[in-house]
Amino acid sequence: MTAQYPDGTQESREINENYPAEQAFNDFLSRFTVTGDKQEFCGLYGYTSFNAVRYFEHIEIKDCMQEKNDAPDILYILYKYVIAFDHFNNTMTLIELVENHEPDTLDELERVIRNHNFATYDFRPVGETFSTLTDDEHKANIRQGIAHCLRGDVFQIVLSRRFVQRYEGDDFKLYRALRSINPSPYLFYFDFGGFRIFGSSPETHCRIEGRHAYIDPIAGTTKRTGNADTDAQNANYLKNDPKENAEHVMLVDLARNDLSRNCHDVKMDFYKDMQYYSHVIHLVSRVSGTLDDEADPVKTFIDTFPAGTLSGAPKVRAMQLISELEPHNRGAYGGCIGFIGLDGSLNQAITIRTFVSRNNELWFQAGGGIVAKSDEDYELQEVNNKLGALRHAIQMAERL
């Protein structure tokens, strides 16, 4: 772990049992005290990759030499400037973090915002989209997942598949296309210099407001056609399908168990709601709890990571099998991305429906929950359904 501070100094320390990840986060956060208005926007913005589970649990994560990706497993930044958009009131608030007696430079920031003389570039996909797994290879993985369920190793395992698309130009055009065709609760574009992570995630990994914590597990997906009658039939099938419901109950129970490690009064706020997105229909519930008096928000977040909907149940064994079966480590996919506030608040989305852009390559990934009664062809198609919005965005971005 390396912490860098505004004065240019930095500290490095190994994450281990004597210095756990939550202590590293809290030590860094404790260095900063904020006064003034808009404190709710002040904190760390960034991501926790799926690989970061190696710092939270005793699980070996596969390292692939072909990844061409030296992005950190965890990266959060305390930004000097924050621009907060209120889309309901069409307002924009400029926020700057300054040290005591340091003059603010918000006037300069406003001039930059009002300057309309900036370069724009097109986006163009190059070649065809390809996967690091063929259809047959992914179906073979699904069969192995089913076998592990039948043997009782796991009740469910989420197996994913990565796709790659080369491109030229400005990937921000792709983000604009994605957010226009697939508006979601979490829309994000993070530029970390050598790589970017952007997407439209529908799923809350963990949200903490005051002393209340929330998880919104999505378990159950069907295709949306655009025809109201057909979509209603698909939603009704999803709501009544025994397999989908069994998976949903299992993962809701897992979310309840995760929150119960640091919370009391854990309950369901809503159960098996149908939520409609541009290309899919999801079955969604909300689990909430009140943090125990001694509970720490960062530890609560870590104890829910990764989401059961992206790993399986029991979670530890499912993650071990994922590392064995998938040909590469997941990187950002299946982790989370968002905000850790200096005031103890927290809001993290699961990193799904997301692109990772690096060296003119886009990586995007999707998976499905495998149980004993899964059908390999159905599960293969579910991955395609979940990637529908991302593929559509690639086509649309070229026309912007």
Q: Which residues are catalytic?
A: 282, 309, 333, 353, 369
Q: Give the closest residue to 133 by CA, choosing from 385, 310, 383.
A: 383
Residues 6+ positions from 97 with CB-CB distance below 8 Å: 34, 42, 78, 79, 80, 81, 82
Is the link from the previous residue into 20 a cis peptide, with omega within 30 of 0?
Answer: no
The C-alpha atoms of residue 253 and residue 240 are separated, in whole angstroms, by: 19
How many Cβ atoms sit within 10 Å of the Cβ of residue 276?
A: 11
d(CA 182, CA 355): 14
**Distance in angstroms (rounded) separating the CA atoms of residues 197 and 363:** 10
Tell me the C-alpha to C-alpha distance, in Å, between residue 94 and each of 26, 41, 313, 315.
26, 11, 44, 41
Q: What is the CA radius of gyration of the chain?
A: 21
At 218 the three-state DSSP class reads: strand
3-state secondary structure (DSSP) of residue 207: strand
Cα distance between residue 338 and residue 307, in whole Å? 14
Give the closest residue to 353 by CA, choosing from 386, 399, 375.
386
The amino acid that residue 177 corresponds to is A
Best CA proximity match to 393, nearest among 85, 187, 131? 187
Contact 364, 387 (CB under 8 A): yes
Q: State how far the Cα of 170 lies from the Cα of 182, in Å rounded to an integer.
A: 19
**Any residues with CB less than 8 A from the CB of 164 and at least 6 apart, and which?**
129, 130, 131, 132, 361, 362, 363
- Ordered DSSP codes for 142-183: HHHHHHHHHHTS-SEEEEEEEEEEEEEE-THHHHHHHHHHS-
